[in-house]
Structure 1
Amino acid sequence: MLPLNLLVELGIIAVVLMATRFARFGRKLAVATLVLLALAAFSPLGNLLLYPLESRFPPWNPSRGAPDGIIVLGGSVDTDLSAAHRTPVVAHAADRLLAPAELARRYPKARIVFTGGSANLVSTDAREADYSVPILEGIGIPKERLVVERNSRNTYENAIFTKRLVQPKPGERWLLITSAFHMPRSMGIFRKAGFDVEAYPVDWRMGGPDDLFSFTNISADGLGRTDVAVREWIGLLAYRLMGRTSELLPGPAKD
């Protein structure tokens, strides 16, 4: 259902229909597909879908003092490429791995937890944690400070397995590091799992509200933002329907 996949599928259907007695409908479908592709690639559509997600949680405020722990969600390393080349391959969202290094230096007593296994539908031995942890060690986090969860396949399991692993105590403060667009769903899942965490968003794809109605002349940027935003909105709806979150669009906790 992601825009790029859906538009390719509709384009193929249009071409097939044009070779049948439904050729007229096929031509109309082809035109509609091209218009939708242009909107997704060049219009502000992706920005309009992405901004409510990225702006939902503000940057973390350190004024409350040092956290007891820092949770880093996987999603940066391509496990298949890493396994093929036998070295970590960071495909995107590198900020998820860079941010904990600075926090670890700033808060030397905080526990650092990385959670991420394999999201592949077909199970493999390649786990994201196995390739992400060497990166975290390489940028300055001592091995003895790292707690590793390597069996989770999605954000829901990130929350469940991490809570089981670290057993947070009442009154402890834990930070959750993930991409800004992914933060609403992540916070909702952790809250539903009974793990009270504070949002530490990273990896923004937009600069701010000034970008809302900006057009792009690079189709890859427009399609990428639209795909990311639609995927996240679908995830929010699905997790709400499955009861894994208590709100469609979780936001900051009310004081």
Structure 2
Amino acid sequence: MFFLVSKIVEFFINPAHIALLLAATGVAMLFTRFAKTGRTLATAGTLALLVMSFSPLAIYLALPLENRFARPAADMPAPDGIIVLGGAFDESISMARGGVAFNDSAERLTAAVELSRRYPQARILFSGGSASLRGASYSEAQVAGRFLEQMGVDPQRIILEDKSRNTYENAVFSRKLAAPQPGERWLLVTSAMHMPRSVGIFRRVDFPAIPYPVAYHTRGSWMDISLHKNAADMLRVIDLAAHEWVGLLAYRLTDKTDALFPAP
């Protein structure tokens, strides 16, 4: 039930969707006796879209998430395993085209390949089923497994978790498959914006891991306040950041994470 509700709510909390709905509703009302209210809504929706598209708002929302956890030092002790969370590619296109169709979180997979070479004894656990509400005959894990093997990762090192549909299930099912022993060190690879929620969830299921954030959308500085010219990119970052902030609250209220905003 939590998965179903979260997928439905996700659509309606998208800031761009809300702004477009306001603007469209306002325009429709212009042709009714509520034209004055329509002008107000259309103006509000349009202004919201402009602010989200061309102001530093996306940076302000994303930066606290992406700066929360730093990457570990390059000379850290070798980990026993590396957990890679799904979300790096479009599974349906990948299966339909017979290849790997990456999205803007592709670095989750490329980082996994690099880390597998740096730590040749570490196990690689990829966690990702299908996030489709209708279900699917394939999973992200299938595509990821194929990609890792194509990149030269020994199949004997790869563990594929293909049942999870959200981050909480990622953690629960990964812990079961990894069966971490006392003293083992596991890296957690996911997008920097997604890392705070992921860390809190893994801690909640008693599988603490070392954060290894990737796929940044910000430069890391509060001084990056210039107006941005690519509206689509800014709206995408706004969407991702809003998703994570709402997710942190929802997961805390349902006791699926150990803190509202997990800290190092």
Q: Which residue of 2 aligns with 1:120?
A: 132
Q: Distance in 2 between matches of 1:127 and 1:33?
A: 37
Q: What's the CA shift for 1:77?
A: 1.4
- Aligned with 2:189 (options 174, 177, 180): 177
> Alpha-carbon deviations, 1:187-238, whole Å to 9, x = none?
0000001001000001011112155422101111211111111111111111
Q: 1:103 aligns with which of 90, 115, 125?
A: 115
* Matched-pair contact (CA < 8 Å) for 2:63–2:222: no
Distance 1:10 1:58 in 2: 38
Q: Structure 2: 5+ residue runs without aligned partners? A: 1-12
Please give the root-mean-square deviation of Cα atoms over the aligned residues, in Å.
1.2
Equivalence for 2:166: 154
Residue 131 of structure 2 aligns to a residue whose secondary structure is: coil
Instruction: Tell me the equivalent position of 1:222.
Output: 234
1:141 match: secondary structure: coil
Aligned letter for 2:60? L
CA contact (8 A) 1:11 1:29 kept: yes
Q: Is the 8 A contact 1:88 1:131 kept in 2?
A: yes
Instruction: Give the aligned residue type for 2:246.
Output: I
1:32 and 2:57 equivalent?
A: no
- Aligned pair count? 252
Q: Aligned ranges for residues 37-186 of structure 1 at < 5 Å?
A: 37-186=49-198
- Equivalence map 1:10-25=2 (5 Å): 10-25=22-37
* Distance in 2, Cα, partners of 1:229 & 1:211: 18
Conserved in 2, the CA contact under 8 Å of 1:47 and 1:211? no
Q: Distance in 2 between matches of 1:55 and 1:175?
A: 18
Q: What is the identity, as a one-letter code, of the residue corresponding to 1:194?
A: D
**For residue 189 of structure 1, what is the aligned residue in structure 2?**
201
Instruction: Give the conservation status (yes or no) of the 8 Å contact 1:48–1:212.
Output: no
Deviating runs (4+, > 6 A) in structure 1? none
> Counterpart of 1:57 in structure 2: which amino acid?
F
Please name the residue that 2:251 is paired with.
Answer: 239
TM-aligned CA deviation for residue 86 of structure 1: 2.8
Counterpart amino acid of 1:61?
A: A
Q: Is the 8 A contact 2:22 2:44 kept in 1?
A: no
- Corresponding residue number in structure 1 for 2:9: none
SS for the counterpart of 1:251 is coil
**What secondary structure is seen at the aligned counterpart in 1 of 2:189?**
strand
